[in-house]
Amino acid sequence: MIHKKPTYEKVNPDFGESILVKQHVKSKLNYTASWHVHPEIELVYVNKGKGKRHIGNHLSYFNNSQLILIGSNLPHNGFTDRLTPKGKETLIQFKPDIFNNSFNGLPEFREIINLFERAKKGIIYKPIIKSHVGPKIEKLIEYEGVTRVLKLLEILNDLATTKDYTLLNVNGFAFETEPEDSAKIDMIYKHINSNFQRQISLEEISDIASMTIPGFCRYFKNATGKTFTKLVNEYRVVHATKLLSESSNNITDICYECGFNNFSHFNKLFKEFTGKTALQYRKEMRRIIQ
């Protein structure tokens, strides 16, 4: 499946360094996470945050902490605008061939090479490994030089040897390098994100993209692997998971607040997307929070 190119992000470590480490401790005002890509591998740890997670074809809602490894050239949205009070995002970026000259061919390094290959699909780590590795990631910014490299190797070894993870894009994700599509795809995603709680007609979105309706439908399916209606409904379901976990609103009200106009259709799509009914999902989230 071929996907169009998101915005290209240039990653610039400090002079004489091969690893970029950044931390954000509060949300940026008026910041909108853009759909972007870069050749560097990216390791992201958010200790406290909430919001939509969009990586490749994967779309979901997160609440509290998350640890994600994003492979080379895997499109994704940023997470900085989704920090909660006392939240901190630590981001580590490095080229996929960072260790090639020194370690390529060593059997002891095979697990990390395999990790980089898995990361092309996007990896989200579960609570046990997240609680173990998260503090190490936050502390990495304090180190420099060889010590930083060795500490990163320790983190990568932890991630490479655990089974406590889920792949986000099991079938992979690839795209064509057509720069003229960058702004258009990002514009479409932003319009969906801002308006999914109401009805968005194909005429409206096609007009925004400056395309005919048939042309837009073909373009969007080729660019995302999904129909426009399917993606809008996924945004609505993800928002429903947020409301189910954070509010006490009844499920019928949540259905309509998310943009659905038919309760049975909402129930059907929610179960298809999450594997659970909305009621089951709420009960499960309350058990976790308690």
Enter the tokens of residue 214: 């048939």
Does residue 1 lie within any of the structural domains? no
CA-to-CA distance for 56 and 233, rounded, in angstroms? 17
Q: Can you give the pLDDT at residue 178?
A: 52
CA-to-CA distance for 11 and 108, rounded, in angstroms? 29
Enter the tokens of residue 52: 């939509």
From 112, 145, 167, the end of a domain falls on 167
**For strand 36-37 and strand 7-8, is the pairing parallel, antiparallel, or unpaired?**
parallel
Residue 79 sits in a domain whose CATH number is 2.60.120.10
- Angle, nearest 10°, between helix axes 228-246 and 263-274? 90
Q: Which residues contact 14 (CB under 8 A, 6 or more apart)?
A: 20
Nearest to 220 by CA among 205, 238, 201: 205
Does residue 153 lie within any of the structural domains? yes
Residue 249 sits in a domain whose CATH number is 1.10.10.60
Which domain, by its residues, includes 196?
Answer: 179-289
Domains contained in the chain, number:
2
Co-location of 102 and 62 in the same domain:
yes
Does residue 172 lie within any of the structural domains? no
pTM for the structure as a whole = 0.69
From 167, 193, 209, the end of a domain falls on 167
From 109, 135, 167, the end of a domain falls on 167
Q: What is the pLDDT of residues 57-70, one digit of tens each?
A: 788 888 778 999 99
Q: What is the pLDDT of residues 100-137, one digit of tens each?
A: 766 666 788 889 989 999 999 999 999 999 999 999 99
Co-location of 29 and 136 in the same domain:
yes
Q: What is the pLDDT of residues 224-269, one digit of tens each?
A: 778 999 999 999 998 998 899 888 999 999 999 999 999 999 999 9
Q: Which residues contact 202 (CB under 8 A, 6 or more apart)?
A: 213, 216, 217, 228
Does residue 173 lie within any of the structural domains? no
